[in-house]
Amino acid sequence: MNVLFVAQCTKRALTETRRILDQFAERRGERTWQTPITQAGLDTVRKLLRQTARKNTAVACHWIHGRDHSELLWVVGDASQFNDQGAVPTNTTASNVLRAGDENAWHHLPQMTALAALAALLHDLGKATQAFQDKLRNPGLRERNHYRHEWVSVRLFQAFVGQDDDAGWLQRLAAYADVDTDSQALEATWLDHTGGRLLRDGLDEPQAQQHLPFAHLPPLAQAVAWLVFSHHRLPCMPVKNTQGVDTEGSSSFRVELDNENPS
């Protein structure tokens, strides 16, 4: 096998390591050696290095496969001088630069599953509008809806949540599964726009503009609303042309969050 030795030793440990490795391999630099060697010879090198190892000893052995691949076989001495692949760091820091813990959110998987299920339950409520249904019944109708169905779904969800906290609206949602619950009364309260619960953009102004969902919903409801709102694509601000008129490009999303009325 063809092997490469890398020594990250310091002080007298480097002198002793050089004395041993010079007997078995050719130097390729101040701290590297390379040679073809048998398994028995490699075992002997490792044994000698371990017998003479000091606290400043750090030697890695790489098995070179072909032209473009190497495999770390072992490390003698201070393994912290190398990473898991045997590479030597160019710099070190005590700061948590990678923040790997922030990216590992699998312990939140049950909560993410529940949020996704709630969003799936609510995401297409906005397709129940008369305008959307007319387009389904009449394929030749080419006029686009003035409101994205995602935004209508969020407004309907906001009306269902009302002034409740997360525990309150979740309990009411669970009550719909109870056969003894008066569902018609719940729906009447939910869809009553005259009482200010269901807000219609462009009609119920200025209340609709003042009660935007992502500014007033409780935290869990905000997360569900965002999943509903973005289930097709992320929203973009309108693009102004040279005449100052909103235009809809191929990737624009005509629904705004908390800045302007949806159109």
Whether residue 243 sits in one domain with residue 113: yes
**Domain range spanning residue 60?**
2-92
b (16+ CB within 10 A) / e for 119-141:
beebbebbbebebbeebeeeeee
Whether residue 154 sits in one domain with residue 232: yes
Structural domain total, the chain:
2
Q: Does 179 reside within a domain?
A: yes
Whether residue 235 sits in one domain with residue 131: yes
Q: Does 257 reside within a domain?
A: no
pLDDT band at 258 (very low <50, low <70, confident <90, very high): very low
Whether residue 147 sits in one domain with residue 81: no
* Cβ atoms of 126 and 148 closer than 8 Å: yes
Place of tokens 């019944």: 137
Whether residue 207 sits in one domain with residue 116: yes
Alpha-carbon span 36 to 183, nearest angstrom: 80
Alpha-carbon span 43 to 79, nearest angstrom: 18
pTM for the whole structure = 0.51
21, amino acid identity? L
pLDDT in tens, 79-110: 999 998 999 988 878 888 877 777 777 778 89
Whether residue 172 sits in one domain with residue 54: no
Whether residue 154 sits in one domain with residue 88: no
Q: Does 241 reside within a domain?
A: yes
pLDDT in tens, 42-93: 999 999 999 999 999 999 999 998 878 899 999 999 999 999 899 998 887 8
The pLDDT, as a whole number, for residue 58 is 96
Q: Does 254 reside within a domain?
A: no
Q: Does 259 reside within a domain?
A: no
Whether residue 169 sits in one domain with residue 58: no
DSSP state of 143: P
Q: Does 213 reside within a domain?
A: yes
Residue 6 has pLDDT above 90, yes or no: yes
Whether residue 19 sits in one domain with residue 50: yes
5-19 mean pLDDT: 95
Listed in order, strand segments (DSSP E) in 22-134 are: 26-27, 32-36, 58-65, 69-77
Domain boundary among 58, 92, 126: 92
Q: Does 24 reside within a domain?
A: yes
Domain boundary among 92, 122, 148: 92
Q: Does 253 reside within a domain?
A: no
